[in-house]
Amino acid sequence: MLRKIFFVSMIIVSVFLFSACSNSSSESSDNSMEGAEDSGDEAGFVENEESSSDGEQEGTTEDSKAEADTKTETEGTSSRSKKQMIIYEGQIAIEVKDYNEAYDKITDEINRVDGYIVESSEYSSGENDELRNGELTIRVPQENFRPFMSSLESASAKVLEKRTHGDDVTEEYVDLESRLRSKEAVEERLLTFLNEAEKTEDLLKISDDLSSVQEEIEQIKGRMTYLEDNVAFSTVTLSIRERSVNIAEIQTQDSLNTWERAQSFFMKTVNGIITMFSGLFVFFVGMSPVLVPLLIIGGGVWMIIRKRKKRNSNES
């Protein structure tokens, strides 16, 4: 009996074990298929991602190139804008021993620094116009401005006055560049419209606008050229004065004019005396309406006082 029960139990257990193994195998195969599918999906995803990455990389490369070009252009514009544009001017007045010698030295120095004289003038001074003086307006390259000012000091016997001034026009020049680009863009559009216009009134209107824009462009270019020229060449105003060295000479009898000077002094003395008496006469005549009554009153008072003194002296 026990053997039968044990045998039945073993059969049941075997059936359960077989069922469990079958389920495990099917689940394993299912999991393998799912894993393969998942692997395929992942592979596809990776492939898509790689292709997408390649596309993005290509796009990024193009964008980088565009950004690099833009950056280069910006840096170029920025470097041009950062360049300081300063107009230098100087005024100096010097005293020299010999005008001709100093003038020759200064002109040699002007030629040495690649400068040129814009304007010059000369004039004489002194009692007998024996001293020579001059005024020069000189243009020199900006890099030679300060060395040239120092050389003028060296060529002089004394510096009477010196002044330098710098005007920064960088901001104005950058603004002109921006305005020029804007006006040229407008000019290009107007030329395009002019070529496409068909009506006469449109042609006239566009031509007027184009002329106005082109005139503004020429004005801007002219101002830019003016600033560039004044920045490239500095202006120096030089004043040269010759030093006077006078030696006194012994005067001759003719130069002394003793007799003439004595006569002149005598006549001045006589004229002074005549002028004095004439002034006194004019004074008394002019004051007579006041002086005569005063004299009469004063004389009467004096006589009364004198009589009283005389009477008192007789009584005593």
The pTM (predicted TM-score) of the whole model is 0.49
Query: What is the predicted pLDDT for the residue at 7?
Result: 53
Percent of the chain with pLDDT over 70: 70
pLDDT (tens digit per residue) in 117-160: 999 999 888 777 778 899 999 999 999 999 999 999 988 889 99
Strand partners, 233: 141
H/E element, 33: helix 2-82
User: Which residue in 143, 152, 140 sits closest to 111, CA to CA?
Assistant: 140
pLDDT (tens digit per residue) in 286-309: 888 888 888 899 888 888 888 888
Sequence letter at residue 233: F
Contacting residues for 177 by C-beta, under 8 A, at least 6 apart: 80, 224
**82 near 229, Cβ under 8 Å?**
no
The pair of structure tokens assigned to 122 is 């000369």
Give the span between the Cα atoms of 290 and 298, in whole angstroms: 12
From residue 223, how far is each of 82, 122, 168, 177 by CA, in Å? Answer: 19, 33, 15, 11
**88 near 206, Cβ under 8 Å?**
no
pLDDT (tens digit per residue) in 10-31: 666 555 554 544 444 444 444 4
Give the span between the Cα atoms of 219 and 191, in whole angstroms: 19
**205 near 59, Cβ under 8 Å?**
no
- Residue 115, pLDDT > 80, answer yes
Average of per-residue pLDDT across 228-240: 95
Query: What is the predicted pLDDT for the residue at 41?
Result: 42
**113 near 147, Cβ under 8 Å?**
yes
The pair of structure tokens assigned to 34 is 């799912």
The pair of structure tokens assigned to 265 is 């002094």
- Residue 67, pLDDT > 60, answer no
Query: What is the predicted pLDDT for the residue at 86?
Result: 94
> Edge-to-edge strands of the sheet including 233-242?
116-125, 131-141, 233-242, 86-96, 158-168
Average of per-residue pLDDT across 232-240: 95
Give the span between the Cα atoms of 147 and 236, in whole angstroms: 12
DSSP state of 133: E
Contacting residues for 291 by C-beta, under 8 A, at least 6 apart: 284
